[in-house]
Amino acid sequence: MASCRVLLAAALLCACSVAAQPVPVIFDTDIGNDVDDALALAMIHALESRGEAKLLAVTITKDNKYAAPFIDAVDTFYGRGDIPIGVVKNGKTPEDSPMIRVPAERRNPDGSYVYPHRLTDGAKAPDAVGVLRSALASQKDGSVVIVMVGFSTNLARLLTADPDLVKSKVRLLCAMAGAFPHGNPEYNVKTDIPAARQVFRDWPSPIVFSGFEIGQAMLFPAASIEHDFSWVTNHPVADAYRNYMPMPYDRPTWDLTATLYAIRPGRDYFSLSEPGNVDVDDQGRTMFTPDPKGTRRYLILTDRQKARTLETLELLASQPR
């Protein structure tokens, strides 16, 4: 009996220590095209500070030279300036974006950066595929969660370059993409349709989609930017928010929802669809087909879940260092 108790205690201890392991995360983002990417990155840092996540790398699908410096500035702001950053080469949406350029370039009267960062020219940052490969190679088999909140460009190239590495290392891909169960072509999909089609069809791990309708149903409030981020005089994410559109405005929480599910899947913030397959048509519409053997699902948000989930997004995104 005593030995049973010891065994039981050891098993419980073991279960607890497994549960406490931080989730190894790679964040793949088109930072600069909308402000939810910046809030999602802030959330990952908050979850890492809580011991729930470990940010392995950030890879970027917006081909603009201020994207990597801005990411670097946010990582450095949270005390993690050594996180590898990879950028897409010959990628989509190179156009200028004040939400990343203004904070990345903001200077003090003495000429120093308000948000210090080591990467000053994103064009000189390493290629995203190489960064993805080395981040994955360093991890245990079946452990890594990838949060993809932009186009599928980088992950499609990774899948072509090293499908075996993806198969052995990735546990889950959580993507803000598409519209479910059906809807109009969604921006992240229609911007690189061939890449999305390849990833949604061939990616070996399960994929959970946060569709357009999920983030659209919960708006991040301008009031949170104005009040919850004021624990520090200069906050790079609040700065990005103020430079994305004239304040005050509320903005859908698209990329935050994919991030929250990726790191806290079992907390009833969302419900899950039945399994199935996801195809992409020539206009960039996602088409979900139920299939008991399928490995793709999409998030569902009920009215009961909405208020608590939105509050969690606000608190995590604005959490002090």
Residue 32 CB, nearest approach to Ca ion (Å):
9
Candidate list 24, 86, 91, 150; residue touching Ca ion; CB under 5 A: 150
Nearer to Ca ion, 74 or 169 (CB): 74
Residue 150 CB, nearest approach to Ca ion (Å):
5
- At which residue do the structure tokens 């790398």 appear? 57
Residue 236 binds to Ca ion (criterion: CB under 5 A): no
Nearer to Ca ion, 30 or 72 (CB): 30
Residue 39 CB, nearest approach to Ca ion (Å):
10
Nearer to Ca ion, 259 or 318 (CB): 259
Cβ atoms of residues 153 and 127 within 8 Å: no
Residue 37 binds to Ca ion (criterion: CB under 5 A): yes
Stretch that binds Ca ion, among 36-44, 153-161, 202-210, 216-224 (CB under 5 A): 36-44
Nearer to Ca ion, 83 or 258 (CB): 258
Stretch that binds Ca ion, among 25-33, 178-186, 203-211, 245-253 (CB under 5 A): 25-33
Nearer to Ca ion, 239 or 255 (CB): 255
Residue 210 CB, nearest approach to Ca ion (Å):
11
Nearer to Ca ion, 42 or 149 (CB): 149
Name residues contacting Ca ion, limited to 250-269 (CB under 5 A).
255
Residue 66 CB, nearest approach to Ca ion (Å):
15
Residue 75 binds to Ca ion (criterion: CB under 5 A): no
Residue 165 CB, nearest approach to Ca ion (Å):
25
State the Cα angle at 223 between 33 and 34, rounded to 5°.
5
Residue 21 CB, nearest approach to Ca ion (Å):
27
CA 94, CA 185: separation in Å to the nearest integer? Answer: 21
Residue 91 binds to Ca ion (criterion: CB under 5 A): no
Nearer to Ca ion, 41 or 83 (CB): 41
Q: How many of the chain's residues bind Ca ion (CB under 5 A)?
A: 5
Q: What secondary structure, in 3-state letters, does the chain show?
A: CHHHHHHHHHHHHHHHHHHCCCEEEEEEECCCCCCHHHHHHHHHHHHHHCCCEEEEEEEEEECCCCHHHHHHHHHHHCCCCCCCEEEEEEEECCCCCHHHHHHHHCECCCCCECCCCCCCCHHHCCEHHHHHHHHHHCCCCCCEEEEECCCCHHHHHHHHHCHHHHHHHEEEEEEECCCCCCCCCCHHHHCCHHHHHHHHHHCCCCEEEECHHHHHCCEECHHHHHHHCCCCCCCHHHHHHHHHCCCCCCEECHHHHHHHHHHCCCCCCCEECCCEEEEECCCCCEEEEECCCCCEEEEECCHHHHHHHHHHHHHHHCCCC
Cβ atoms of residues 70 and 236 within 8 Å: yes
Nearer to Ca ion, 48 or 255 (CB): 255
Stretch that binds Ca ion, among 24-32, 123-131, 189-197, 217-225 (CB under 5 A): 24-32
Candidate list 149, 173, 199, 238; residue touching Ca ion; CB under 5 A: 149
CA nearest 126: which of 86, 181, 173? 86
Residues of this chain that bind Ca ion (CB under 5 A): 30, 37, 149-150, 255
